[in-house]
Amino acid sequence: MAGGTVGYMLTDGRGAWDAFYMTVLALTTVESPSHLSRLGQVFTVVLLLVGVGAALYTFTLLATVVVEGGLPKRLQRRRQQRMLENLSAHFIVCGYGRIGSIVAKEFRQQGVPFVVIERDPARYQAAVAGDVLAIDADASQEEVLKRAGIERARGLITAVGTDAENVYTVLSARVLRPDLFIISRSESGDSTRKLQRAGANRVISPYQIGAVQIAQTAIRPAVVDFFDLATSSDNLELAMEQITISPRSALADHSILDASLRQRFGVIVVAIQREDERMEFNPEPTMAMRAGDKLVVLGRPESLKQLGGEAAS
């Protein structure tokens, strides 16, 4: 602008203001309005500079957002928020490490809704790359758990890095949802007791379970193979399922024999867990099924699905 002003003054013999005014018109590619007073010319210069500057700034900002990936990230966050708001009866998996990723994989195979909370950037990106609904945050924070829909959740699984973090996460979740079913990973016997005191319903040690599995495989390989077959999500021929008897179900207050579960659905009732969590193994045919009981049933997946529908309605 300085060069244009000096140029018009030297080449066209104009005064300083007229040369500056012509420079602004030339740079903004605007045709010179006719019959403007000096005050009108000042207003025109200000309007052109502010207008063009605002337009260029807006264009630069939008280009930066698109080029640097800000727009896709914002759209992804909005999509994630909508998905979180629509989640209900889901599980919250805290941690996407070796244990959490396997849990998430099993949930996906069985069609169980869930959301992952992971604060490690690399693990969070791994979850997103695997098309897993995930939140990049600290699972021990109450606001994060609320964002994950803990009020509508079916249960929570803590499998974060250390036992101390698991204890904090369990405490935060129990404060928000006293009735929530919580499962936590443990690395030692001492932390198992602390997690139970913090409010975990179940505490599982992967090392202990792995050692027991190795020992049982060595002693009773056929039994272990059977349970692996019955509990595998990939098996289409046989499955073991937990089915809850609803108070409005026609099965409530009927015995196994009266309900004809074996004849109608082709399933075997392995055990019945009462509301007080007492387990009745290998129940007699005359044993009654009450509302709130959980049936541990063995059968074909489609048969279990039909039984589950009748137990819920």
201, 245: one domain: no
Q: How much is the pTM?
A: 0.68
Determine phi and psi for 35, rounding to 5 degrees.
60, 45
Is residue 3 scored above 70 in pLDDT? yes
Domain assignment of residue 81, yes or no: no
Q: What is the CATH number of the domain that holds 151?
A: 3.40.50.720
Here the tokens at position 282 are 């290998």
Total count of domains within the chain? 3
Q: How many CA atoms lie within 13 A of 255 on its CB side?
A: 7
Q: In terms of residue numbers, what domain contains 53?
A: 2-67
Tell me how far the alpha carbon of residue 288 is from its chain's centroid. 39
Q: What is the CATH number of the domain that holds 264?
A: 3.30.70.1450
30, 112: one domain: no
Domain assignment of residue 139, yes or no: yes
Domain assignment of residue 79, yes or no: no
263-280 pLDDT, tens digit per residue, is 999 999 999 999 888 999
**How does the average pLDDT of the chain come out, rounded?**
89
Domain assignment of residue 215, yes or no: no
The reported pLDDT for the residue numbered 81 is 85
Closest CA relative to residue 270, chosen from 290, 245, 299, 244: 299
105, 201: one domain: yes
63, 91: one domain: no
Confidence category of residue 185, pLDDT binned at 50, 70, 90: very high
273, 173: one domain: no
Domain assignment of residue 229, yes or no: no
How far apart CA 293 and CA 288 sit, in angstroms, is 10
End of a domain among 210, 226, 261?
Answer: 210
Here the tokens at position 72 are 């896709």
126-136 pLDDT, tens digit per residue, is 999 998 999 99
- Calculate helix-pair angle for 38-67, 16-27, nearest 10 degrees: 30
94, 201: one domain: yes
Domain assignment of residue 270, yes or no: yes
Domain assignment of residue 224, yes or no: no
Domain assignment of residue 227, yes or no: no
